[in-house]
């Protein structure tokens, strides 16, 4: 909720004084530089008209990093809390134009959502390939799993879904490169492909049987990582709201 931001920055001469905190910050613990969204005009008629972006560097007085949050997945990537207590920022640390930060963020959201869709597509394709190789090698009741029609049909469904989603992601990437990617299309890609990643990961674990539940198998880690995709970058429920709003508006 970008319009519900509590972190604020107040002018003090030519400087800004930053106060507040952030949570769920990707790579926040290791970051040397962070871009902080803060309210700079609390009296604005719309919250969107009073938000600015600031560049804050590690080591600045008043800027501290909290604990690394213990996540279910994505363990190679730290997620942290950040705290700002009377951080004095020169005017040069303002990114862009004062009170225009909300619009700068909005311009980046389609690319962010497409990034999540692309990561989900890659993850789903990885799980499929791991599963395909596993069922070809794994034997049960004297036969490989891949010789069973029910397994073959599962693989056929997974492959078809992946080809369809890959085509959509590729189309979105082309639109992004041409400057034509809009919020509605990016939201559809994020929602659809991240959901598909979870479905493919579920099938991958299922077809691996008990081994799919073991951390030593990549599909187990992928299953946990997949769960984040429909949550971050805007929950998929919000993506559906944005899509529906655009559909009804037109």
Q: Which residues are catalytic?
A: 112
Pairing of strands 94-95, 51-57: antiparallel
Name 240's Cβ contacts closer than 8 Å, sequence gap at least 6: 187, 191
3-state SS assignment for residue 68: strand
- Report how far residue 55's alpha carbon sits from residue 94's, in angstroms, rounded to the nearest whole number: 6
- Report how far residue 68's alpha carbon sits from residue 36's, in angstroms, rounded to the nearest whole number: 18
- Report how far residue 33's alpha carbon sits from residue 65's, in angstroms, rounded to the nearest whole number: 12
- Report how far residue 66's alpha carbon sits from residue 83's, in angstroms, rounded to the nearest whole number: 7
């Amino acid at each position: 909720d970008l319009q519900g931001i509590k972190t604020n920055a107040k002018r003090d001469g030519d400087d800004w004084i930053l106060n507040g905190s952030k949570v769920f910050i990707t790579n926040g613990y290791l970051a040397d530089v962070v871009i902080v969204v803060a309210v700079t005009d609390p009296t604005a008629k719309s919250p969107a008209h009073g938000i600015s972006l600031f560049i804050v560097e590690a080591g600045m007085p008043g800027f501290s990093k909290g604990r690394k949050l213990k996540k279910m997945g994505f363990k190679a990537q730290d997620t942290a809390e950040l705290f700002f207590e009377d951080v004095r920022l020169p005017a040069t640390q303002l990114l862009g134009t004062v009170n225009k930060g909300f619009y700068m963020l909005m311009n980046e959201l389609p690319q962010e959502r497409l990034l999540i869709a692309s990561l989900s597509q890659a993850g789903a394709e990885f799980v499929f390939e791991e599963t395909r190789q596993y069922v070809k090698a794994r034997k049960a009741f004297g036969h490989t799993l891949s010789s069973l029609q029910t397994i073959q049909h599962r693989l056929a469904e997974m492959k078809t879904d992946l080809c369809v989603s890959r085509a959509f992601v590729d189309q979105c990437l082309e639109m992004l490169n041409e400057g034509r990617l809009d919020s509605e299309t990016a939201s559809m890609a994020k929602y659809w492909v991240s959901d598909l990643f979870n479905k493919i990961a579920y099938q991958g674990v299922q077809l691996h049987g008990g081994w799919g539940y073991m951390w030593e198998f990549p599909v187990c880690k992928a299953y946990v990582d997949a769960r984040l995709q429909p949550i971050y970058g805007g929950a998929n429920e919000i993506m559906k709201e944005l899509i529906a709003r655009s559909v009804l508006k037109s």
